[in-house]
Amino acid sequence: MSEPRPDIQTNVDSPGATDSNRSCIIGIDLGTTNSLVAVADDHGPRILNDAGGHAIVPSVVRFPEGSAGEPIIGREARAHLVEFPAETVYSVKRLMGKSVTDVTGDLEYLGYQVVQGEHDTARVRIGDRIISPQEVSALILQKLREVAENALGHQVREAVITVPAYFDDAQRQATRDAGRIAGLEVKRIVNEPTAAALAYGLGHGSKQETIAVYDLGGGTFDISILQIIPHEAAEDSTDDSAQLDSFFQVVSTSGDTHLGGDDVDRMIVELVEREIREEFGMELTFPPSTRQALRQFSEATKIRLSEFDQAEIQVDLGEERVYQRVLLRDEFEGMIRSWVDRSLACCTRALRDAGMKPDQIDRVVMVGGSTRIPLVRQMLGTYFDAEPYTALDPDKVVALGAAVQGSILAGSHTNALLLDVIPLSLGIETMGGAVAKLVMRNSMVPCQAKEMFSTSVDGQTSIKIHILQGEREMVADCRSLGEFHLRGIPPMPAGIPKLEVTFHIDANGILNVSAVEMRSGKRAAIQIVPNHGLARDEVDQMELESYKFAREDMKLHRVVDLRVNAALDIKWISERMGKLGNAIDDDYRAALQQHLDTLTDFIEQSEDDPQSVDADAFLKAKQSLDEASVRLHEISIAQSLRDERATSAQDSTDESG
Ligand code: AMP
């Protein structure tokens, strides 16, 4: 097939282009607000960043005054949007393949001029120039292509581009045309929800599954119901590029083009403005700059509340007037509940159109930044009675999936890890930098494991759960998969909190880690795709190393555990000896001190050079201290009883007095 000549040439010099390079097909999420580019190789899909390390290219193009000026694309164009509203084009996706009549409703949101072009198509007018939405999108695509070529070090000619599931033929064709103008051969146009499902590795199995893809961004909301049609011929087929996306059938879609995180920001702004007026009795009219600052600040408050139970709001109004308050997550959730309900009403419509009930949905995939709000996750989980998939970055999941589709089409997907077993053990970090494994390698999926842990520091109110993958015994030699904090635990002495950690791996290999502190009921969780970014040869390498270092590793783990437990013993015994004072005779005190000193020497040696420690001797020293301290426990209990009797005797004297 011959390439149509591109209307706009890219200037990228690509010295490293080879035949194999040319078979690389990039994945592009061409979004209304932001766009991203990704690629998938043996390590799975990954986002490609620009030279400044930015993944996101804002879908904004500025056409500077006078037709000769070079268009400015992305970050820089967005930064000056307010200064140059008439020559900066954004949200052009809303115009793709549309007539002016189609987009009348959107015009009030656009700062630039939209005019009628050939065949009643919507065009952008900048000064004397009439530009088609395809040309604007082509510039964004060209920028993404440039990002990809620079990141990969070779030329890129082919791409998969995503579009919303509800895009009609004209909108899809316009997107293809944009790609062609950008000098890209568009190998396939893929639905955004399908891409999100592909990023999670869905669609590979032989089961028929129904998936809901819930996409809640800044300004728009989309819900799509997809059906995965089992890939019957998969085993016979030698053609891996068989149209995987055709196994995903879009059953129904619904949404709201004006529902998103921006609404929540506005709710916080309104709350603050109302309370300022109530408190200071001011007839406040905030200037635009203050309003803008207030909006940004409200967004930051919202984002903070996704992680913490509360966020502080402070606005300096000048003349020593300061508005200040704490917004608790509970109160925030009360404010946004009906906003989440609006999205659920769209889900109900989509389900009704599909002729389904919520409990017929097998998987829920989350897309869009606003799905980071815990209440959104919780209400959606309850609605569908399924734990939503949140492991992948909701802003990147569509581009990642487009890259997966690209690699399938390029025939380079065969090395990806598609597994029915866990290739490497999974566990968490424990005190001293050791790893406690909960799920052993080669466990079949789905599977579940639970273990109890506690703290080793007094009064700890937050516990970090660090999840690791690998066969080695120490954190430093394993692969870190992620971490989260269990916060708000009431202060308790070391060893008293009862922390239950559960690993659950579902049939698609997605890991859910949850932690509950049983005494306080505090709970937190994280979701992870353990095999993300892991290549087959890396698994082999990690396995090999585990054999090679097995003996040393086991010893190190044992010494570290001994050190942690010995330190706890020493702390407890020293405190008791201090408290009991004269209740302990000198000989016994001296004997105990000797045991303590011996054990402290072991601890110090284990910190300096753990491999040099004689672990058996260390254990013996610890056991000797344990045995010697039995009498101390008895003295301690006797003393407590005496103290208690003395207190009650005092109380009865006080009462009778
Ligand atoms: P998107 O259009 O998918 O990029 O989503 C952008 C929206 O997600 C904006 O309204 C952001 O404020 C919101 N957002 C991003 N991160 C978070 C977060 N951690 N918690 C709540 N909202 C967030």
pLDDT above 60: residue 11: no
More confident site: 646 or 15: 646
Alpha-carbon 115 to chain mean position: 41
Distance 218 CA to ligand 1 centre (A): 6
Is residue 603 in some structural domain?
yes
Domain end among 334, 360, 388: 334
Decide if 232 is catalytic.
no
Average pLDDT in the 596-618 region?
92
Decide if 215 is catalytic.
yes
Are 531 and 623 members of one domain? no
Active-site residue identified among 93, 98, 143, 437:
93
Residue 301 near ligand 1, beta carbon < 6 Å? no
Cα dist from 109 to 27, 90, 106, 296, whole Å: 29, 10, 6, 19
Residue 183 near ligand 1, beta carbon < 6 Å? no
Domain end among 205, 236, 256: 256
pLDDT at 336: 98
pLDDT at 95: 95
Average pLDDT in the 475-485 region?
94
- Binned at pLDDT 50, 70 and 90, residue 15 comes out as very low
Using CA positions, which residue lies closest to atom 20 of ligand 1?
303
**Short-list 278, 492, 402, CA closest to 28:** 402
Decide if 177 is catalytic.
no
Are 496 and 561 members of one domain? no
Distance 546 CA to ligand 1 centre (A): 41
**Short-list 446, 308, 325, CA closest to 373:** 308
Using CA positions, which residue lies closest to atom 3 of ligand 1?
368
**Short-list 539, 509, 528, 543, CA closest to 419:** 509
Residue 580, domain CATH = 1.20.1270.10
Distance spanning both ends of the chain, measured CA to CA: 107
Cβ distance 543 to 579 under 8 Å?
no
Q: Which residues face 213 on adjacent strands?
A: 224, 365
pLDDT at 10: 29
**Short-list 229, 298, 214, 303, CA closest to 259:** 214
Cα dist from 421 to 425, 446, 513, 625, whole Å: 10, 9, 18, 44
Is residue 14 in some structural domain?
no
Decide if 192 is catalytic.
yes
Mean pLDDT for the chain? 88
pLDDT above 60: residue 477: yes
Are 43 and 174 members of one domain? yes
| Integer Cα distance of 155 and 106 in angstroms | 37
Token code pair at residue 361: 């949905």
Are 607 and 523 members of one domain? no
pLDDT above 90: residue 541: no
Are 487 and 578 members of one domain? no
More confident site: 367 or 444: 367
Token code pair at residue 113: 């001029």
Give the count of domains, the chain.
4
pLDDT at 245: 47
- For a mutational test of ligand 1's pocket, the pick from 307, 370, 484, i.e. the residue with the most ligand atoms closer than 8 A to its C-beta, is 370
Residue 472 near ligand 1, beta carbon < 6 Å? no
pLDDT above 90: residue 50: yes
Residue 58 near ligand 1, beta carbon < 6 Å? no
Residue 372 near ligand 1, beta carbon < 6 Å? yes
pLDDT at 172: 96
Residue 245 near ligand 1, beta carbon < 6 Å? no
Range of the domain at 41: 25-256
Distance 371 CA to ligand 1 centre (A): 7
- For a mutational test of ligand 1's pocket, the pick from 222, 303, 340, 393, i.e. the residue with the most ligand atoms closer than 8 A to its C-beta, is 303
Angle at 638 between CA 635 and CA 642, to 5 degrees: 135
**Ramachandran sector of residue 609 (left: φ over 0; alpha: ψ -120 to 50; beta: rest):** beta
Q: For residue 486, give the DSSP letter.
A: E
Residue 291, domain CATH = 3.90.640.10
Active-site residue identified among 87, 158, 215, 387:
215
pLDDT at 83: 86
Using CA positions, which residue lies closest to atom 2 of ligand 1?
217
pLDDT above 60: residue 284: yes
- Percent of the chain clearing pLDDT 70 (strictly above): 91
